[in-house]
Structure 1
Amino acid sequence: MQEKNVSEQDQKVKTVKLKLLADHTHANMAYSAGMEIEVPEADAKWLKDLKIAEYSAVNKPAVTKPTVEEK
């Protein structure tokens, strides 16, 4: 049987930081509202869809004001 060569980067799961909007328990570990946690993207989507968390300020897209030329 031939082994597949998988790079370390391919094995890494992309994560995002979230701020909890409500208390949450995972694997018997309690997390309080207001805490920032780092979770895989799929888990982040699930928590956001349930309105348990929102993106942390680190992950929020920057809001830019239009320049004079853009108005």
Structure 2
Amino acid sequence: MRRSEFDRAVADEFGARGSSLISDLVLSELGGRTPADALAAGTPPRDVWLALCAATDVPASRRYGVGRVEPKRR
């Protein structure tokens, strides 16, 4: 997962609330850091996304493959 895919996934799943979750929610799975701090420290976006999903009870069906842009049709 790229950072841009992470950002799209957060926006799609959490809407306007996403930015506050990223900056304010402290997650033990990320070493007691917020998602923003973990990303800044070099934690892979996929790991941050999965920790955020677990903490906010996002169903497993919406955790994988999100954030990807649909390929352009020719």
TM-score category of the 2 structures, normalised to the smaller one: under 0.3
- TM-score scaled to structure 1, two decimals? 0.25
Q: Which has the higher contact order (CA 8 A, sep 6+)?
A: 2
- TM-score scaled to structure 2, two decimals? 0.24
* Higher-strand-fraction structure: 1
Larger radius of gyration: 1
* Higher-helix-fraction structure: 2
